[in-house]
Amino acid sequence: MAVGAAAAALPVLPSVVGRAEGADEVAAAPGEATYAYVASYANSSAEPSPDGIGLYVFQVDPDTGALTQVQAVTGSSPAWIEVDPSRRFLYACYSLRGGATGRVGAIDAFAIDRRTGKLEPLNRVSLGDSGPSQLTVAPDGRHVVVANYYYGEYIVLPIGNDGRLGPVSGRFQNTGSGPHPRQDSAHPHAVAFDPRGRFLGTADLGIDKVQIFRLTGGGLDLVSEVSVPPGTGPRHIAFGRDSRLLYAIGELDGTVTAFAYDPTTGAIGQALQTLASEPPGYSGPPSGAEIAVHHPSGGFLYASNRGSQSVAGYRIDGSTGKLTVVGYATQGVSGPTNFVIDPSGRWLYVNSSTANSVVQFSIDHSTGELKPTGRTTAVPSPLVMAFRRPN
């Protein structure tokens, strides 16, 4: 992969409050377009300023992958966003601080305009004194599951036919601790359904566990779990394309671990391999962040590192699931808490949160190498990104 110095911070976007309904509008191409949604962490207080933008909407050029702004949504900064399987709704969770109010948790539901990609608020469900870090939508679109980082629990909320969220229907509480100062208690950080949609995979940074749940009647039943070495701090997970592999990235030790996984029973098998996610020679503190399997090929895995400011690429062995390093992308990468692969599988976008930019790479489908395209999009503190592909 190409290696280069991190890009300098790009200018912050001007305030666009009051223009969310059309001043920056881009006419949709005939038929439906692909849209990208970016959560900005620049407005992360529980009491947002009047001109604070929490979400940006972009139309994606089908030929180049370039992003053109369509809408800016006033509000607080989401910790995570996800488009539902029907591609009609977007859900966002918030883990905020608000002076005397302490931590404030909430989940928002938005309707997505099919033609323009714009967002229209539907409703908000307050989680009170909580701190959600990630959410996911069930494959049937009927529930949202939330990892409540600060309070050691997973939360389930129902979704109505109109996309609106109902009150909390289920909770599962983890307990325990680990050797690292960040591991004073359970801290769930990841939730993701496996490709077959039968089971939910999770990662708890605080107690060094990867767990599998079944969503049943608006609640969660624990199916299996595996412990990783103390002090790993599993942050995020990714399933292999055929659902027979599960990968986890350790935030606290900067490792990637491959596990065998049975998609029929939800059982996590033995660890097949553990290797560093940081580049060779890096001696600073580790800080693993995001992890994802390339689609549609399923042949490559990517992992971001906020310590070395890089995105590692790996080739996945089709028979064993084990990983071989392809290389490390660093050009323009700064604070890569999240990256995403576009629906076509051609592009990988890194949210360089400390450089106020989204950086685009092309993906070599034969080698898995990430190559800089030279395209960056200015966004204040981009934290997470999600796509809506055409129906």
- Write out 346-381 in H/E/C secondary structure: CEEEEEECCCCEEEEEEECCCCCCEEEEEEEEECCC
* pLDDT confidence tier of residue 300, bands split at 50, 70 and 90: very high
Q: What is the DSSP letter of 100?
A: G
- The whole-angstrom distance between residue 265's C-alpha and the CA centroid of its chain comes to 26
- pLDDT at residue number 71: 97
The encoded tokens of residue 143 equal: 């529930």
For residues 351 and 386, give the distance between their C-alpha atoms in angstroms, rounded to a whole number. Answer: 11
- 249 close to 255: Cβ distance less than 8 angstroms: yes
Closest alpha carbon to 141 in 106, 91, 191: 91
**Whether the predicted pLDDT of 12 surpasses 90:** no
- The whole-angstrom distance between residue 338's C-alpha and the CA centroid of its chain comes to 6
* pLDDT confidence tier of residue 195, bands split at 50, 70 and 90: very high
**Whether the predicted pLDDT of 25 surpasses 60:** no
Burial class (CB in 10 A: 0-12, 13-18, 19+), 61: middle
Closest alpha carbon to 274 in 315, 236, 229: 229
List C-alpha distances in Å: 86 to 139, 159, 161, 340: 9, 12, 11, 19
Comparing 22-31, 184-193, 237-246, the range with the smallest average pLDDT is 22-31
Phi, psi (rounded to 5 degrees) for 149: -55, -50
**Separation of first and last alpha carbons in the chain:** 33
Which amino acid, one-letter code, is at 77? S
- 138 close to 114: Cβ distance less than 8 angstroms: no
Classify the C-alpha dihedral 138-287-315-229 as positive or negative.
Answer: negative
- pLDDT at residue number 33: 94
What is the number of residues in the chain? 391
* pLDDT confidence tier of residue 21, bands split at 50, 70 and 90: very low
For residues 273 and 296, give the distance between their C-alpha atoms in angstroms, rounded to a whole number. Answer: 23
**Beta bridge partner(s), residue 66:** none
Q: What is the DSSP letter of 88?
A: S
- pLDDT at residue number 37: 98
Classify the C-alpha dihedral 309-358-338-133 as positive or negative.
Answer: positive
Comparing 125-134, 176-185, 281-290, 369-378, the range with the smallest average pLDDT is 125-134
Which amino acid, one-letter code, is at 184? D
**Whether the predicted pLDDT of 333 surpasses 50:** yes
**Whether the predicted pLDDT of 24 surpasses 60:** no
- Asked, as a colleague might, if the bond just before 296 is cis with ω within 30 of 0, I would say yes
Q: What is the mean pLDDT of residues 165-186?
A: 98
For residues 306 and 329, give the distance between their C-alpha atoms in angstroms, rounded to a whole number. Answer: 12
Q: What is the mean pLDDT of residues 269-298?
A: 96
Sheet holding 170-173, edge to edge: 132-137, 143-148, 153-158, 170-173
Q: What is the mean pLDDT of residues 56-62?
A: 97
For residues 390 and 182, give the distance between their C-alpha atoms in angstroms, rounded to a whole number. Answer: 41
Which amino acid, one-letter code, is at 62? P
